[in-house]
Amino acid sequence: MSHASSSIAGIWQHVDKPAFIEFDLDKGIGTVKTHQTHPQNEGQLVIRKITKASQQDNLWLGEIYDASRGIFVAISIKKEQRKVFVYDALGKQILALKRGR
């Protein structure tokens, strides 16, 4: 069982935008909590099917919505200290978040 400090559950702030994403691991989803630039995106599901990667305390798998293609694509989510990084299937970083509120 993971320790709470190693979990990604909760609210995280986008590193480059005035936006917050909330991870709900009970539901396996990530939604836009608030977005100052695009308030119409609040509540939007952006990450789904979040599951814990076996044997790695700081790694999760899931799918993120790719708006340019209109589909969900596979991702990995890695927590490093007080930041979360989201990578595409090729290992390219596509999102960085820091511990929010």
What digits encode the pLDDT tens for the residues 7-18?
899 999 999 999
d(CA 101, CA 97): 12
d(CA 11, CA 90): 26
The mean pLDDT of 24-38, rounded to a whole number, is 96
Share of the chain above pLDDT 90, in %: 82
- Which pLDDT tens digit goes with each residue over 56-88? 789 999 999 999 999 999 999 999 989 999 999
> pTM of the entire structure?
0.88
Neighbouring residues of 10: CB distance < 8 A, sequence distance ≥ 6: 22, 23, 99, 100
pLDDT at 10: 94
